[in-house]
Each structure stands twice: as C-alpha cells, then as structure tokens.
C-alpha cells in the first residue's frame, strides 16, 4: 500500500492536525553542490511546494514553516535581501497554485520589521486566500519564540493597564490568547531537517507536548514522502500528556 493510502486509513486521533517545520540545511546543501548558499534557498522552494502539496493531500489542517527567524537578521545583508526577494517572488508565482488547492496563507512574527513591499504582498496574499477552506500554511517570518513571548507580555500588561485583564485571570489557558498562534492548535509534530538537534527559538510555548522528529535530510532534499513517513511514524506513538500508559490505553 502506498504511503498516502496508509495515511488515508488513519483515524482522526492518529492524524496530526498541525505540523511545524524548521527548514534547515539550505546552505550546507548548496555548499555540497559547489554552489552559493542562496541556491540552497532557491532549491528549498521546491521542498516547500512539495511539502504543502503533501500536507494538503494527507488532510493536515495547519502547516507552520520557519522561513526567517529573528536571529536570521544577523546574516550577511545580501543573503537577507536574497531571502526576502525569494519570498516575494515565490508568493507571486505560487498564488494561482495556492488558490487552486484552496490553501489559506497566514503569517506569524514581527511582520512590521520586513520591507514595506514585502509586508504589502503578505497582507495581499493573506486577504486573497482568507476564505480558502483547505490547508492553512503559516509562514513564520522575523519570528522567534522569545520575541513572541515578550510581545504577548507587553500586550497583557497593556490590557491590565486598560482594565480589560486582571492579573488573577492570567493562566495557562489565557496566555495562548496573546500568542501569534491563538487561532490554531499546538503543533502535534515538529520536524527539523538538516541533522541538528535544536529548537532554535521556534514556538517555545506551543511545543510543550509536541512530538519531535529530527531528520538528516537537508531541506532542499525534503519531499512530501518524507512528511508522509513522519505522519505514519507519529500515528504509532503513544502521547501520554503526563498520564500513565495504562490510563491512555483505556481512554476512548
Ligand atoms: C535555513 O537553512 C533556512 C532558512 C534560513 C531559510 C528558509 C527559506 C526557504 C526554504 C526558502 C523560502 C521560503 C518560502 C516559504 C518561500 P540555513 O541557511 O541555515 O542552512 P545551513 O544550516 O546549512 O547553513
């Protein structure tokens, strides 16, 4: 049976709703081919396309891609410019495909720190795809978990000062309402490509109970089949959320 046929047999509980990916290894992939780092990012776009297609075909609801971190601003200017240009170009070229596949595109991160033309294009594509009912793709741009938590804290203090939030109301259930991810479930799966075992400041609050997958493939080599294998592996894991295995086995 093919990978996708196996996925189609999974129950609702076995199928992840939200997958997050740290797309790492573009630079090393390029170097291994004797190319400039930027070529790795360009090749990485093919992996983005294949992964979005694969997630849609598998019936995943949310796919979050770590495309540019707060710390990536420290890279050489020409690489930052090339990454932003690639993002703008890719959104322009992929728009028809996104609409055809009913993909809804959203962003998380400090979007105001991106160049104006990039911000405009992101808000346009977000508006244009808003009513699509298929997979939601969330691009994390100028994002980091610590930035997000600081941003949330600032907004909570603002609401306390304005009298719309009492300190007593602050709880584990309340805090997610102040995060960029307030409208989506926590990731069930976090994938990092490129062979390293790090979280790199990604979704720090949200991954408390996420299943982690570290894969050796560099991002430009990652394809939907890698994603499908991970989904099938995930479906066999027992998620206990602090309970005992016996308790979980007896849950309906
Ligand atoms: C990390 O690899 C990758 C990035 C910082 C950028 C990711 C961007 C893309 C995949 C292309 C554009 C994306 C979209 C959504 C259109 P690295 O450069 O850190 O690789 P290295 O660890 O080998 O140096």
- For residue 127, the domain's CATH number is 3.40.1180.10
**What's the 3-state SS for 184-202?**
CCCCCEEEECCCCCCCCCC
176 within a domain of the structure (yes/no): yes
**pLDDT, position 213:** 98
Query: What does the pLDDT read at residue 99?
Result: 97
3-class DSSP assignment, residue 159? helix
Q: Looking at the domain assignment, is residue 245 inside a domain?
A: no
Q: Is residue 103 part of a domain?
A: yes
Decide the pairing of beta strands 189-192 and 211-214.
Answer: parallel
Q: What atom in ligand 1 is closest to the CA of residue 94?
A: 16
State the residue for tokens 């200017």: 77
- Distance from C-alpha of 24 to C-alpha of 31, rounded to nearest angstrom: 14
Rounded to the nearest whole angstrom, what is the distance from the C-alpha of residue 44 to the centroid of ligand 1? Answer: 7
Full residue range of the structural domain in which residue 64 is found: 3-237
**Residue 242 located in a structural domain:** no
Contacts of residue 169, defined as CB under 8 A and 6 or more positions apart, other chains included, come to none
pLDDT of residue 251: 84
User: How much is the pLDDT for 225?
Assistant: 98
Residue 249 maps to a domain: no
Assess whether the C-beta atom of 72 lies below 6 angstroms from ligand 1. yes
- Helix, strand, coil percent content, the chain, rounded in steps of 5: 50, 15, 35
Task: Determine, yes or no, domain membership for 243.
Answer: no
Greatest alpha-carbon pair distance for the chain in Å reads 59
| Whether 63 contacts 136, CB under 8 Å | yes
**Rounded (5°) CA angle 32-36-40:** 70
pLDDT along the chain (252 residues), means of 10: 98 97 98 97 98 98 98 97 97 96 98 98 97 98 98 98 97 97 97 98 98 98 98 95 92 76
Answer whether residue 244 is part of any domain.
no
Report the pLDDT value the prediction gives residue 228, as an integer from 0 to 100: 98
What is the model's pLDDT at position 252? 67
Give CA torsion, residues 198, 200, 201, 207, to 10 deg: -40
Q: How many domains does the chain have?
A: 1
User: Among 24, 186, 188, 221, which one carries the catalytic annotation?
Assistant: 24
| Strands (DSSP E) found in the chain | 18-22, 62-69, 104-108, 136-143, 189-192, 211-214
Within-domain flag for 252: no
What tokens appear for 118 in the block?
């990039």
Ligand 1 proximity of 28 Cβ (cutoff 6 Å) = yes
């Amino acid at each position: 049976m093919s990978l996708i046929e196996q996925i189609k047999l999974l129950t609702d509980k076995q199928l992840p709703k939200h997958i997050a990916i740290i797309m790492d290894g573009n630079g090393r992939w390029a170097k291994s081919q004797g190319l400039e780092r930027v070529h790795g990012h360009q090749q990485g776009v093919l992996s983005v396309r294949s992964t979005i297609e694969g997630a849609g075909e598998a019936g995943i609801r949310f796919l979050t891609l770590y495309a540019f971190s707060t710390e990536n601003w420290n890279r050489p200017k020409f690489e930052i410019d090339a990454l932003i240009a690639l993002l703008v170009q890719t959104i322009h070229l992929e728009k028809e495909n996104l609409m055809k596949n009913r993909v809804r595109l959203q962003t998380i991160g400090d979007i105001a720190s991106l160049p104006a033309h990039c911000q405009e294009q992101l808000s346009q594509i977000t508006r244009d795809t808003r009513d699509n009912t298929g997979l939601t793709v969330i691009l994390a741009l100028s994002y980091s978990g610590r930035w997000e938590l600081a941003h949330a804290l600032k907004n909570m203090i603002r609401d306390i000062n304005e009298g719309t939030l009492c300190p007593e109301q602050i709880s584990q259930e309340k805090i997610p309402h102040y995060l960029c991810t307030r409208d989506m479930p926590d990731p069930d799966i976090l994938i990092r490509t490129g062979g390293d075992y790090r979280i790199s400041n990604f979704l720090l609050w949200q991954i408390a109970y996420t299943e982690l997958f570290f894969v050796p493939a560099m991002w430009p080599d990652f394809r939907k089949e890698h994603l499908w294998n991970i989904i099938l592996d995930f479906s066999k894991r027992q998620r206990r959320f602090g309970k005992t295995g016996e308790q979980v086995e007896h849950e309906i």
